[in-house]
Every structure is written in structure tokens, then in C-alpha cells.
């Protein structure tokens, strides 16, 4: 249920995510000529809301959960961002995710600002009825803070189309009118878009396919390790497997499996779906057989000697403590913020190319934008139309960021932020700057 597997993945949440994210902004500002007004605006979230959500449990008891919604910036349009359910959700984390969404939407040139939401909860400990009460209670608490023209919600860690459907329905009940545009990632029958459930992974796949030839690599000779086997991680692993890549390792929050000759990803997914585990693998072809593999930790997976490493779990997976162990030549960030700023410097010194999250996992928000457009127009696209438009935007922006990085001799992450900052700066400056008011 969601975009990535839950679990700690041995990360260090003591690091302030927002402070670390801000270091990327400061680095990129060195290569732009933004106005003081734009810089000041982007250093702080525009609005943050903390709410308490009382939920009547099935046994009659009452539990109160902490919820958050942050709108970081809306200079380019209404806020846009997912809602995650996870025990570790904090205001700092939600603010950081809203910060990243701001830049992600600008990178893909979407008419949105950045927002994010979350509830500190272990959803596995709730029944389906309790989960519905929680989801509807969250919307009741933040209804005045969101809207189709103000702030649009989407799925994230441990939320899915069913949860989004509950949220949209509750908002519509409160508003006394159908409001499908307030939420994306909804069930198709409630105004959802075809392709939204696989959009994050599909966008990443298009970016990988675009960048691979630049390193003289071909799928058949390219080894891949994927950390995180939730919706996004499992789907990108499957897409790469189907395209001929050798996916040698995958992991969930319980650990990793590795096979030097490559894993049968459809079989791994089938086993995971059936048992909620990837500790064993079976073949679902005509003849069922055990596939040899080695068990390892998530830390071991991150240190594998592969061509491509794909972090698709949670934040702060690669830090200054383990960055030197990374042997992959290319990293594609399907998760949000899996690499700290300190680790970035180490990876850069070691010649590792890091393709940043604000580009690589932007397929989800891009197709969410398509869904929002379809809701507003009342006309719905085919899956082929959705994927064609997504492919076009991912290729276009990936090539642009690659060009910026090489023309200015800066890391790809910095190039992505520079690209976004230029668009954000234009939008903020259009409202007036100090230079304008002083007559310069």
C-alpha cells in the first residue's frame, strides 16, 4: 500500500531532514542569479498545519494520532504532494518532503507548488475500518487547508488508491459537492487516471533508458540492485527485468536477496504478494523450481558491485558513514532523499553519478498532474496517452538537466536544483522584487 516499503532500513533519522535538504538549495544558489526576494521565500515553508486525529477503535477505545500538512511554496500553482502513513512521520520530515516537492514540480515544469502530508501511525496495527476512520478524520481536520485550487493530495508511503478514495469522498461530503480534483491517485471509477499506480517507477524507467547510452551501457550487460520492494521499487525492478537488465538484488525492510546471475523478478513479486516476504523465491513458470540466492542485509545491498543502484525505500539510506562503501557507477533515486548532503560529496569524489530524486521519481506527480487535468476537463485519457506524455516530459527534463550539469561542470543534483530554481525564481519575481520597487 504505497510508493515504497515501510521500515527503518537502518537509516539515521536524527539528522534534520529539512536542514539537510536546505544544504542542496544553498549549493545550487551559487550557480544562479536569483533575486533576494526569491531566495528569502524559498528558505522557509509557507504554511504548516499540525492536527490531532481521534479514532474510535474496533474495541471501543479511543486513540489519538498526530497528523501534518505542509505547503512549502505555491508561487507556481496550488500545493501538490502525497500523504504518508508511518510511525516515524514528523513535522520536520513532512516539511522536507514538501520542500522536495516544490523543486520536483518545477523540474518537470508542472503548474504546482510543493506540499506534503503525513500521519504518525503504524497502519499495520489498524483494521481496515480503523484505517478508513483515520483517513476520513485526517481530511475532516485539514479540510480548510486543502482544495483543488489550493493543495492537492496524493498517495505516498502506506497509502494507496483506496485511501485516496476515502479522502476524496470525505472532502466531497464536507464541501457538499463532488470534488475529485482535491486528490489524485484515486480509484479509476472515482476519477483516477490510468497509469497513476505505476507512474513513479515508469518515470524512473524512462529516465534510466534515456541516460544509459551516455555511459555506453546496454540493458543486457547492466547489473542493478534495488533497495525497497514497495510499489515503486517492485515496479521499477520488474520494468528493468522485462527490458533485459540483470536485476541481481532486491530488498524490503526485513533484508535483501542476491543472485549473481540475476533474479526472476516476477517470481519475487509473486512470492512477496503471497507471503509479504522476499526471504525465498520460487519460479512461477511451467516448471516450478527454487532459485538459488543469498540473503544479505540492506547495508550489504547498498555496497554491491553493480552498475546501477536504485534506493527506493526511505530517507537517509546513504550517509557519510556508508557512502565510501558504494561501488555502483550510477545511482537513480526513486526514494525521496535517500542520500544525505555529506554523502553526496563523498560519492562525487568517488566518481559516482547520482541522478536526483526531484527528477527520477517525478513520474508520480507528473501523472497526478495529468489526473488533475482530466478531472477538471471531464475528459479521460488512455493508458497509452498517459505513458506517452510521461515519457516525453521525463526525457525532455532529463536531457536538459544532463546538459546543464555538463555545460556548468556541476553535479547532476545541483543541476536539477538550478533548473528548478530558475523556474521558481521567475514565478516569484513576476510578483515584484526589490529591484523593481526601487525603479532599477
Q: Give pLDDT, residue 275.
A: 65
Cα–Cα distance, 122 to 228 (Å, whole number): 18
Q: Give pLDDT, residue 40.
A: 86
Rg of the Cα atoms in the chain: 21
196-232: burial string, b at 16+ Cβ within 10 Å, e else: bbbbbbbbbbbbbbbbbeeeebebeebbbbbbbbbbb
380-400: burial string, b at 16+ Cβ within 10 Å, e else: bbeeeebbebbbebbeebbeb
**Domain hosting residue 111, numbered range:** 47-190
pLDDT in tens, the chain (440 residues): 444 333 334 444 334 667 777 777 788 888 888 888 888 888 889 999 999 999 999 999 999 999 999 999 999 999 999 999 999 999 999 998 899 899 999 999 999 999 999 999 999 999 999 999 999 999 999 999 999 999 999 998 889 999 999 999 999 999 999 999 999 999 999 999 999 989 999 999 999 999 999 999 999 999 999 999 988 999 999 999 999 999 999 998 788 899 999 999 998 888 777 766 554 443 343 222 334 567 888 889 999 999 999 999 888 899 999 999 999 999 999 998 899 989 999 999 999 999 999 999 999 999 999 999 999 999 999 999 999 999 999 999 999 999 999 999 999 999 999 999 999 999 988 887 777 777 76
CB of 319 closer than 8 Å to CB of 12 = yes
Backbone region of residue 36 per phi and psi (left: phi > 0; alpha: psi in -120 to 50; beta: other values):
alpha
How buried is residue 14: exposed, middle or buried, by Cβ count under 10 Å (0-12/13-18/19+)?
Answer: exposed
CB of 94 closer than 8 Å to CB of 56 = no
Cα–Cα distance, 99 to 383 (Å, whole number): 30
- C-alpha closest to that of 109 among 350, 432, 308, 358: 358
Residue written as grid cell 509473486: 270
Cα–Cα distance, 322 to 346 (Å, whole number): 10
- 104, 116, 329, 393: which is the annotated catalytic residue? 116
Domain membership of residue 34 (yes or no) is: no
Q: Give pLDDT, residue 434.
A: 72
116 labelled catalytic:
yes
CATH assignment of the domain containing 77:
3.40.50.10860
Domain membership of residue 411 (yes or no) is: no
Is pTM beyond 0.95? Reply is: no
Domain membership of residue 220 (yes or no) is: no
Domain membership of residue 378 (yes or no) is: no
Looking at the structure of the chain, the number of domains it has is: 1
SS3 400: helix
Domain membership of residue 33 (yes or no) is: no
Amino acid at each position: 500500500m504505497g510508493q515504497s516499503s515501510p521500515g527503518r532500513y537502518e537509516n539515521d533519522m536524527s539528522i534534520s531532514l529539512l536542514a539537510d535538504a536546505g544544504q542542496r538549495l544553498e549549493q545550487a544558489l551559487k550557480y544562479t542569479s536569483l533575486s533576494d526576494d526569491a531566495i528569502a521565500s524559498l528558505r522557509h515553508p509557507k504554511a504548516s498545519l499540525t492536527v490531532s486525529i481521534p479514532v474510535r477503535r474496533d474495541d471501543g477505545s479511543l486513540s489519538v494520532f498526530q497528523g501534518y500538512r505542509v505547503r512549502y511554496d505555491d508561487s507556481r500553482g496550488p500545493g501538490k504532494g502525497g500523504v504518508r502513513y508511518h510511525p516515524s512521520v514528523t513535522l520536520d520530515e513532512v516539511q522536507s518532503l514538501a520542500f522536495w516537492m516544490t523543486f520536483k514540480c518545477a523540474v518537470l515544469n508542472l503548474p504546482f507548488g510543493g506540499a506534503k502530508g503525513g500521519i504518525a501511525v503504524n497502519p499495520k496495527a489498524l483494521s481496515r475500518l480503523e484505517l478508513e476512520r483515520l483517513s476520513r478524520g485526517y481530511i475532516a481536520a485539514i479540510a480548510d487547508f486543502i482544495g483543488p485550487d489550493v493543495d492537492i493530495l496524493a498517495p505516498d508511503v502506506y497509502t494507496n488508491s483506496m485511501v485516496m478514495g476515502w479522502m476524496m469522498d470525505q472532502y466531497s461530503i464536507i464541501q457538499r459537492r463532488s470534488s475529485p480534483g482535491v486528490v489524485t491517485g484515486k480509484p479509476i471509477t472515482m476519477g483516477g487516471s490510468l497509469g497513476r499506480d505505476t507512474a513513479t517507477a515508469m518515470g524512473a524507467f524512462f529516465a534510466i533508458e534515456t541516460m544509459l547510452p551516455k555511459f555506453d551501457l546496454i540493458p543486457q550487460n547492466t547489473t542493478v540492485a534495488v533497495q525497497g520492494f514497495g510499489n515503486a521499487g517492485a515496479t521499477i525492478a520488474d520494468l528493468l527485468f522485462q527490458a533485459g537488465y540483470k536485476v541481481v538484488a532486491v530488498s524490503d525492510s526485513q533484508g535483501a536477496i542476491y543472485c549473481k546471475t540475476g533474479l526472476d523478478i516476477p517470481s519475487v513479486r509473486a512470492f512477496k504478494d503471497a507471503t509479504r516476504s522476499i526471504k525465498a523465491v520460487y519460479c512461477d513458470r511451467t516448471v516450478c523450481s527454487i532459485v538459488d540466492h543469498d540473503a544479505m542485509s540492506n547495508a550489504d545491498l547498498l555496497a554491491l558491485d553493480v552498475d546501477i543502484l536504485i534506493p527506493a525505500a526511505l530517507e537517509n539510506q546513504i550517509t557519510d558513514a556508508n557512502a565510501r562503501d558504494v561501488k555502483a557507477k550510477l545511482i537513480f533515486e526513486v526514494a525521496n532523499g535517500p542520500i544525505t548532503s555529506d554523502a553526496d560529496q563523498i560519492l562525487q569524489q568517488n566518481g559516482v553519478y547520482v541522478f536526483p530524486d526531484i527528477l527520477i521519481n517525478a513520474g508520480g506527480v507528473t501523472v497526478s498532474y495529468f489526473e488533475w487535468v482530466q478531472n477538471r476537463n471531464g475528459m479521460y485519457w488512455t493508458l497509452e496517452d498517459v505513458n506517452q506524455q510521461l515519457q516525453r516530459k521525463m526525457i525532455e527534463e532529463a536531457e536538459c538537466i544532463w546538459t546543464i550539469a555538463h555545460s556548468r561542470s556541476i553535479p547532476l543534483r545541483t543541476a536539477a536544483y538550478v533548473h528548478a530554481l530558475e523556474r521558481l525564481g521567475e514565478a516569484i519575481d513576476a510578483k515584484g522584487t526589490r529591484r523593481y520597487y526601487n525603479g532599477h
